[in-house]
Amino acid sequence: MTMETSKKITFARWGNYTVAIKALFERLGFEVVLPQTSNETIVKGVKHAPELFCFPMKILLGNYLGAIRQGAVAVFSAANSTGSCRQRYYGIVQEKIISDCGLSVEFVHVPLSPRKFFGVLSKQSGKSNFEIASALLFSFMMLVMIEKLEARARYARPRELNQRDTDKAVRASLELLETVKSFGDLYRAGRKINQQFSLISINANKPVPRVGLVGEIYGVSEAQINFGIEQKLGEQGIEAHRQMTLLYHLKKLVFPWMDWVITFRTRKYLGSHVGGHGRDAVSEMLTYVKDGFDGVIQILPFGCMPEVTVRPVLERIHKESGVPFLSLSLDEQVAEAGIETRLEAFGDVVHSRFERKLAAQKILDGNHDMLKL
């Protein structure tokens, strides 16, 4: 096969998943201009986007604009044709804005239904079906590894003995994954990552309060816009949990019954879906409450239609169950210091609740022993 000059493309940055998405496009034979999220790109996105549009759209637009300046000629954007919220129009509006800016790039709307997705990729890359399937498998495996390491990091962070050990391991692992080119390398990288995480010295017996993160998927999983909330909680000695990951979203696209279960679980609180992941947030919060978590944090972009709609419902669950609840809405005006202060205060509430719970448990256990005697 003759090597043609590969097309320079870009896509939206998405937290740690960026590595997996980049791997997908690289295996498809594109040259990837890695999008960056910085204050500069955010400002640029905010400047060009409609004022009242939601925050992720502005960030993505900033990503694209920055990458186009670096030479990208095509933008791959996930197009959702079934949702009820504004995410459905991200691609269309962004395409219009980019062309209004006088930039001529190819804007590829990648539909999220599995079959169409495959079709678009094969048309764009000109690769054989086998190659595309292998690229998809490769990036999927990488995605699974990334989520696994994220989960391990969430577990290790509040328990680590030497501060920042986990962060170092995460960073090293992601850097390692970025260099991976073949399935064999991926396997070896997996072992290496496992090794790195087992080397973190943790105190596994330390009782640690748990906090669930619910909310809009991008805000929850992109550490750059939520100011590394998982890390911040970990540093406070709180274990963060979240169900809302990219894998969860993909699973929901493939298996419809996940939605049926959620519908059933939330029927008392919400009689209908509200677009986006609104109903999922309610269902997740209910699960967290049931599992005895010590707090729930909702993260949403300012004015996110589904999340704003379900927030009163989440507050109702919070009032009924007594589990501390914090809602953080993020936009370009939010400062890190403000979020930090609120998280610290919330952390205090969570800790005091957890300690009370522990004390009560101790008394109960003591009584139990006495009864046995």
Partner 1 sequence: MAISVKASWRTNAACKIYSGYPNTYCDLQTFLLLRSLCATPVFLFPCKRGFFCYYERMTIGIPKAFLYWKSPGYWETFFESLGCKVVVSPPSDKNIVELGVQAADPETCFANKIYWGHVKWLEGKCDKIFAPRLKTNEAGQEYCPKFFAIPDLARIVTKTPLLTASFDSRKEAFIMTLQRLGREVGVSKKDVLAAKTKCDDGCAGIEKKNRENFWRKMDSDKQKILLISHPYNLYDEYCNLQVEKKLNQLDGEAIFLDEAASLGSGGEFASKGVPSLHWEFGQEMLKMVPSVLARYRFDAGIEISSFQCGCDAVIKGYVEDVFRARKTPFLYLIIDEQTGEAGYQTRLEAFCDTINARA
Please give the residue ranges that form the binding site for partner 1 (CB under 8 A): 50-54, 84-86, 88-89, 92-93, 96-97, 269-276, 278, 302-303, 305-306, 308-313, 315-316, 329
Least spacing, CB of residue 279 vs partner 1, in Å: 9
Least spacing, CB of residue 223 vs partner 1, in Å: 23
Nearest-angstrom CA–CA distance, 157 and 42: 29
Cβ closest to partner 1, residue 212 vs residue 278: 278
Least spacing, CB of residue 311 vs partner 1, in Å: 5
Residue 20 in tokens: 């997996």
Least spacing, CB of residue 52 vs partner 1, in Å: 4
CB 159 within 8 A of CB 208: yes
Cβ closest to partner 1, residue 53 vs residue 138: 53
Nearest-angstrom CA–CA distance, 257 and 255: 6
Please name the residues in contact with 329: beta carbons below 8 A apart, sequence gap of 6 or more. 300, 301, 302, 303, 304
Least spacing, CB of residue 44 vs partner 1, in Å: 17
Cβ closest to partner 1, residue 166 vs residue 298: 298
Distance of CA 77 to CAs 71, 112, 189, 217, Å?
A: 17, 10, 29, 16
CB 174 within 8 A of CB 146: yes
Cβ closest to partner 1, residue 320 vs residue 348: 320
Residue 280 in tokens: 């999922």
Cβ closest to partner 1, residue 52 vs residue 335: 52
CB 303 within 8 A of CB 86: no
Cβ closest to partner 1, residue 7 vs residue 86: 86
Distance of CA 276 to CAs 44, 45, 82, 185, 300, Å?
A: 26, 22, 10, 36, 11
Least spacing, CB of residue 269 vs partner 1, in Å: 7
